Amino acid sequence: MNSEILGVVITFLITVLLAYPLGKYISKVFKGERTLTDFMNPVEKFFFRVCGINPTESMNWKQFLKAMLTINMLWLVYAFFLLIFQHKLPLNPDGNPGQTPDLAFNTAISFLVNCNLQHYSGESGLTYFTQLFVITFLQFVSAATGIAALVAVFNGLKEKTTENLGNFWSIFTKSITRVLLPLCIIAAIFLAFNGSPTSYDGKDSIVTLQGDSVQVSRGPAAGMIAIKHLGTNGGGWFGVNSAHPLENPNYFTNMLEMVIQVLIPVAMIFALGFYINRRKLSKVIFGVMTIGLLCLLIPTIITEINGNPAIEKLGVAQPTGAMEGKEVRFGPAASGYWSIVTTIISTGSVNSMHDSSMPMSGMMQLLGMMINAFYGGCGVGILNYLIYLIIAVFISGLMVGRTPEFMGHKVEAREVKIASLVMLLSAFLVKAFTALAAYMVAHHPEIAWQVKPGAWLNNPSYHGFSEMLYEFTSANANNGSGFEGLGDNNIFWNVTTGIVLILARFLPIIGPVAIIGLLAKKKFVPESPGTLRTDSWTFGMMTFAVIIVFNALSFFPALALGPIAEYFSMH
Amino acid sequence: MSKHKRTIRLFEPALVGKAVKQSFVKLSPRLMVKNPVMFTVEIGTAVMLAVTLYQLFTGDNSQGALWYNITIFTILLLTVLFANFAEALAEARGKAQAESLRRTREDTPAKKVFTVGEMYVNEVKVVPSSQLRKGDFFICEAGDVIPMDGEIVEGIATIDESAITGESAPVIRESGGDKSSVTGGTKVLSDKIKVKVTTEPGESFLDKMIALVEGASRQKTPNEIALTILLAAFTLIFIIVCVTLKPFADYANTPITIAAFISLFVCLIPTTIGGLLSAIGIAGMDRALRANVIAKSGKAVETAGDIDVLLLDKTGTITIGNRKATNFWPADGIETTDFISNCVFASLADQTPEGKSIVELAGEKNINAKQLPANTRMIEFTAETRSSGVDLPDGIKIRKGAFDAIKNIASSNGSSFPKETEARVNQIASNGGTPLVVAVNNKVQGVIELQDIIKPGIQERFERLRKMGVKTVMVTGDNPLTAKYIAEKAGVDDFIAEAKPEDKMNYIRKEQQSGKLVAMMGDGTNDAPALAQADVGVAMNSGTQAAKEAGNMVDLDNDPTKLIEVVEIGKQLLITRGTLTTFSIANDVAKYFAIVPALFIASIPALQALNIMGLKSPESAILSAIIFNAIIIPLLIPLALKGVKYRPIGASALLRRNLLIYGLGGVIVPFIGIKLIDMALGLFM
């Protein structure tokens, strides 16, 4: 057991040790200072020239968002049609069919918004062409979109008073050429050498030791597995994601995949400090987020290592912990760590079945996604944190008797309104749609849909409730992991989660960028001894309290009916 | 000098009676809708009333026992009434406060001047003060009560302003200059003045203030609006929580009564702060009024809490009115007693406080004032000569004046300026004093040292301001050397020396450009532009009408250090809102633990584990939670009206302290409160 925990600790330490210099590097890239990757310059210039973009043109927050949203909508249409007509396109050695419109709607949105909720299995639901030119493509650009939005916020915070949040096209392109692509190439090489496939051949057929003949899906997977983690996307090449032996062959790749999915979110926190020259602020944010991680992680690992109390009651010893739904090559501690980082970071890749996690762990995973700001997704994690921070700034500003200020700008009614709306959105989307699903199951179980609502749930009762809650929480957090055990490839789930996904992606990006855009325009107020410092630990504690209290108040009844009820029924 | 404080007890019976009546009047939905949080409670109350009536007529018991629903209805109604009561009480107190000021300006006879009268030009006739209009003139003589606010156009008078300021010492007001303003309700003690009316009846500052407190023209301040938005957002979240609970409960096969839904909702929404919010705002204005400051808007009080820079006049604020003579320094070879008696001669005719202080100091040194011989010619001080003195009949000319003025006189008459005196002059100046050189027959005899006396206790006040993060700036006409010395001694952060009126203005602009909020106090007409430019401009009541129009507050006490109190009142206002918001939201944790298990205990027995308070039954748990929710409002009224105390201990420390008390306290207190109520209910249920 101890070596398992040691493995988790080492994984975390490696992540932080790599993230710090990476953060410094990212800050340099966007400041336009000289870096190792300047050889990409001609490539970028070529793109800008071909597209007729002036990369030095300044943009205010509205122009920035307009550029971002326009190109995203374009990708959505592109992805939707390619998925529907994939069977008519090349690179389809296994002869997989085109997706139904509702599935394509869900899949296109899901990958566009960096969520990667998958209502299909990669082996049969996609072709190599769409895996590469829809899925992998969107995994790059959605991560870069998130990073670009965050860099816009950095720009707003950096200057005393400015309207210019930077040029979207330039930041976006650099996010790919200078950050995602180089890291991805390195990670993909590691994965390929450890056994992840990189061939364009179709299914292989092997004979197992037992003598059965088995069809094994393959494909150019290693590169996609790298970006799915680096870009906190999480959608797997294969249906069972990183529990699949070809997607995550051994303990080393498991560590690698755990490190690289946390890498950029943590590096962005440090980049914030370097970029706006407030390292204390990024230290405090990193501290608060890490405490949040530990609060979710420790109960999970303890629970998983201790095994299932229901099995214990049967008198069966569980020396290796709760192993249902877990891979023997990873064990409960590494699986527990993965399940928490993948939920707090909006990756949503899995190396174990979350449906089989203990109720306590299930609740921690749910909380990770509800909060969605402990490190959080590529770029967007800090944007979500910013919303909590604005609310914390407002309340604590009042508590010290001064009109609230953040980074030298007064936080007033308009900013509070935007922050409140964004905060409200997650509570609304998760609860309203879970309520809708619960209503369908309770009142119309026999409705003649493709899959009858009564047949949605593999488990009735509290666990079934958790399955529905998890699905919408995951969609709202743009996380993409599934509790599974849910019949989700049908019109109801494809459409509802699609709606949740797109709203929960873009409104929480628009909100913080607008807030910072509005704040940056205001007159700069220099700090005085009466100013509440936002880079103090006291304020960090306040932000943490706001995060916990807000989420507890929003989700307590839902959690009580799902994992909490299940937990107490088991004990 | 005595001050009679206008204190009103917190729960003055007469006011409580009025407030109770108002609490019912305020139930009108048209008034309630302004407060979204309490308005939703009122809707909930109406729904419960409907449920109860339905049950009464149909006898349908599917929604729980009748007594139970009636009880819930009653408690909800009380919740709304308590919130209304808090607001009404704050209003009543503010009104009473203003009323006691207004009483001074009831109809009094006024001696109105008719420029073209029935019989003569400038005929004076007695009319009721209500007939006076802006621009009219009236006369006041010793013993008259001044009927209206106005400006003296002729004459000088001593006036008893104790009715307004509580200060019993009479003050002098005279035409021209910066002390020409008189206030209605004050009394002329001596002499006769002619006054021009400056306000229409009902539009004086006091009338405006009363309107603000009464709520008619009370506008929400920016921070109040932002907070209302946040509270509305929380209310919406809890609407979502409660509405979605219905399908959740259906899924879990748990019937939930309407009463339980509404109780859960009302408990969760921030009723505590929602109910007290407007009371807090009114109480802030009221506190300002009690400090004898009339704010023209609630925003001004709030802005005062944000002030970064405070501009203060040196004279009267930092130092006691005038300079005093502290030392005689004769030049070498001059007898000290001769020198002093010459100084006395030069000052006997000088009626300025400085001149008087020279005679006084001489008296202390036992050189008593002699009579000036007859035929002595007085030489008045003029800005050109910058010296004054006497020409005695025996031909002796004594002059005292500024160093360079006397130096000019001496050198133009061919006599040199003694080295040691010049050194002394420099030394005095660098110590913050003012040297007054004395020459007899154009020969320098020595120098008199005048010193500013810094007000006792002022250093501590500046220290307190520094801890609040407020930078203090002293404005003075002194030379930079003197100004620097006094600034250091008094502990101000910066100074403007040799200040002209436009310097103040420029300084304010400069600070504002760098994003700071500036407050200043002024009285003269030449202060008016700066008062208008400053974010918080406090005009003294004794000041000119122009100054009072330009500022956004008027200080009835004419006390220049009042700004410090105003800043604290502003901060207190924000802190009270912030802490009660935190308290209100923190309370929800305990309420969840009371109500959620109560709702589901029947169908999910395992959730009994969440009933950590060990409440007796689901009914008693829900009742306890909403009773706690209701009574916490009146319990917090004293805090809301008095305000949470501001402590200048630094922002982070203050946040920690308030988080601990109101955040952590807000989590713990309801656990105890709900448990106690549950135990009490156990006696009946």
pLDDT tens sequence across A197-208: 988 888 888 898
**Which of B306, B471, B658 is closest, CB to CB, to A399?**
B658
pLDDT at B102: 67
CB pairs under 8 A between A and B: 210
| Residue A438 with chain B: CB contacts under 8 Å | 247-248, 250-251
Cβ atoms within 10 A of the Cβ of B2, count?
8
Are A427 and B240 within 8 A, CB to CB? yes
pLDDT at B276: 92
Whether the predicted pLDDT of A106 surpasses 80? yes
pLDDT at A445: 87
Are B241 and A403 within 8 A, CB to CB? no
| Residue A401 with chain B: CB contacts under 8 Å | 305, 570-575, 578, 646, 654
Q: Higher confidence at residue B525 or residue A496?
A: A496
Cβ proximity of B181 and B151 under 8 Å = yes
A220 within some domain: no
pLDDT at B369: 60
Kindly state whether B471 is in contact with chain A, defined as any CB-CB distance less than 8 angstroms.
Answer: yes
pLDDT at B5: 47
**Which of B232, B234, B241 is closest, CB to CB, to A557?**
B241
Return the residue in A400, A414, A543, A550 with the most chain B beta carbons within 10 A, the one to mutate for interface testing.
A400
Cα atoms in the 13 Å half-sphere on the side-chain side of B408: 9
Are B237 and A417 within 8 A, CB to CB? no
Whether the predicted pLDDT of B666 surpasses 50? yes
**Catalytic-residue membership of B160:** no
Task: Please compute the mean of the pLDDT values over residues B188-206 and round it to a whole number.
Answer: 79
- How much of chain B exceeds pLDDT 90, in percent? 25
| Residue A521 with chain B: CB contacts under 8 Å | none
Least confident span in A126-140, B90-104, B148-162, B625-639: B90-104
A76 within some domain: yes
- How much of chain B exceeds pLDDT 70, in percent? 92
Whether the predicted pLDDT of B1 surpasses 50? no
pLDDT at B395: 81
Query: Which residues of chain A from 417 to 446 reach within 8 Å of chain B, CB to CB?
Result: 417, 420-421, 423-424, 427-428, 431-432, 434-436, 438-439, 441-443
Of these ranges, A18-27, A210-219, A529-538, B294-303, the one predicted with the greatest mean pLDDT is A18-27
- The gap between the terminal CA atoms of chain B, to the nearest Å, is 62
A270 within some domain: yes
Task: Please compute the mean of the pLDDT values over residues B198-206 and round it to a whole number.
Answer: 73
Q: Higher confidence at residue B30 or residue A72?
A: A72
User: How far does A445 lie from chain B, in Å, by closest CA?
Assistant: 11
pLDDT in tens, A38-64: 999 999 999 999 999 999 999 999 999
Kindly state whether B287 is in contact with chain A, defined as any CB-CB distance less than 8 angstroms.
Answer: no
| Residue A520 with chain B: CB contacts under 8 Å | none
Average pLDDT for chain A: 92
Kindly state whether B245 is in contact with chain A, defined as any CB-CB distance less than 8 angstroms.
Answer: yes
Binned at pLDDT 50, 70 and 90, residue A363 comes out as: very high
| Residue A459 with chain B: CB contacts under 8 Å | none
Distance CA B173, CA B308 (A): 33
A218 within some domain: no
Whether the predicted pLDDT of A425 surpasses 70? yes
C-alpha torsion B115→B116→B120→B126, nearest 10: -60
Are B578 and A526 within 8 A, CB to CB? no
Cβ proximity of A7 and A259 under 8 Å = no
Least confident span in A510-519, B46-55, B151-160: B151-160
pLDDT in tens, B314-344: 777 787 767 788 888 888 888 888 888 888 8
> What predicted TM-score, i.e. pTM, was given to this entire model?
0.85
Distance CA B505, CA B490 (A): 23
Distance CA A518, CA A278 (A): 21
Which residue from A minimizes the CA distance to B470? A530
pLDDT at A44: 93
Average pLDDT for chain B: 84
Whether the predicted pLDDT of B203 surpasses 80? no
Are B652 and A533 within 8 A, CB to CB? yes
Q: Higher confidence at residue B215 or residue A293?
A: A293
Q: Higher confidence at residue A403 or residue A304?
A: A304
Distance CA A196, CA A210 (A): 24
pLDDT at B164: 66
Look up the ipTM and state it: 0.91
Query: Which residues of chain B from 215 to 244 reach within 8 Å of chain A, CB to CB?
Result: 222-223, 225-227, 229-230, 232-234, 236-238, 240-241, 243-244
Query: Which residues of chain A from 535 to 564 reach within 8 Å of chain B, CB to CB?
Result: 536, 538-539, 541-542, 545, 549, 552-554, 556-558, 560-561, 564
Which residue from B minimizes the CA distance to A526? B515
User: How far does A520 lie from chain B, in Å, by closest CA?
Assistant: 13
What lies within 8 Å, CB to CB, of B54 at 6+ separation is B60
pLDDT at B3: 41
Query: Which residues of chain B from 499 to 518 reach within 8 Å of chain A, CB to CB?
Result: 514-516
Sign for the CA dihedral angle at A469, A472, A475, A477 comes to negative
pLDDT at A369: 95
User: How far does B325 lie from chain A, in Å, by closest CA?
Assistant: 39
Binned at pLDDT 50, 70 and 90, residue B4 comes out as: very low
Q: Which of B313, B523, B588, B678 is catalytic?
A: B313
A185 within some domain: yes
C-alpha torsion B87→B90→B92→B94, nearest 10: -140
| Residue B665 with chain A: CB contacts under 8 Å | none
- Radius of gyration of chain B, Cα coordinates, nearest whole angstrom: 34
A446 within some domain: yes
How many domains does chain A contain in total?
1
Q: A29-34, long-range: CB within 8 Å, 24+ apart, which pairs?
A: A29/A174, A29/A178, A29/A179, A30/A151, A30/A154, A30/A166, A30/A171, A30/A174, A30/A271, A30/A275, A31/A275
pLDDT at A9: 95
What lies within 8 Å, CB to CB, of B648 at 6+ separation is B464, B465, B467, B468
pLDDT in tens, B545-602: 777 778 888 888 777 677 788 888 888 989 999 999 999 999 999 999 999 999 998 8
pLDDT at B383: 67
Whether the predicted pLDDT of A341 surpasses 90? yes
pLDDT at B370: 66
**Which of A528, A541, A558 is closest, CB to CB, to B248?**
A558
pLDDT in tens, A373-393: 999 999 999 999 999 999 999
pLDDT at B321: 64
Residue among A541, A143, A168, A170 at smallest CA distance from A381: A143
Task: Please compute the mean of the pLDDT values over residues B164-171 and round it to a whole number.
Answer: 67
Cβ proximity of A330 and A254 under 8 Å = yes
pLDDT at B2: 35
**Which of B229, B515, B592 is closest, CB to CB, to A417?**
B229
Cβ proximity of B104 and B185 under 8 Å = yes
Whether the predicted pLDDT of B508 surpasses 80? yes
- Residue type for position A120: Y
- Residue type for position B472: T
Which residue from B minimizes the CA distance to A401? B571
Which residue from B minimizes the CA distance to A551? B237
Q: B439: which strand partners?
A: B399, B444
Which residue from B minimizes the CA distance to A398? B578
| Residue B516 with chain A: CB contacts under 8 Å | 525-526, 528
pLDDT at B300: 84
Tell me how far the alpha carbon of residue A176 is from its chain's centroid.
18
Q: Higher confidence at residue B159 or residue B626?
A: B626
- Residue type for position B214: E
Return the residue in A360, A537, A561 with the most chain B beta carbons within 10 A, the one to mutate for interface testing.
A561
pLDDT at B151: 86
Segments forming the whole domain that contains residue A182: 2-208+226-570
Cβ proximity of B533 and B508 under 8 Å = yes
A216 within some domain: no
A430 within some domain: yes
**Which of B229, B244, B306 is closest, CB to CB, to A435?**
B244
**Which of A399, A438, A542 is closest, CB to CB, to B248?**
A438
pLDDT at B146: 84
Are B574 and A401 within 8 A, CB to CB? yes
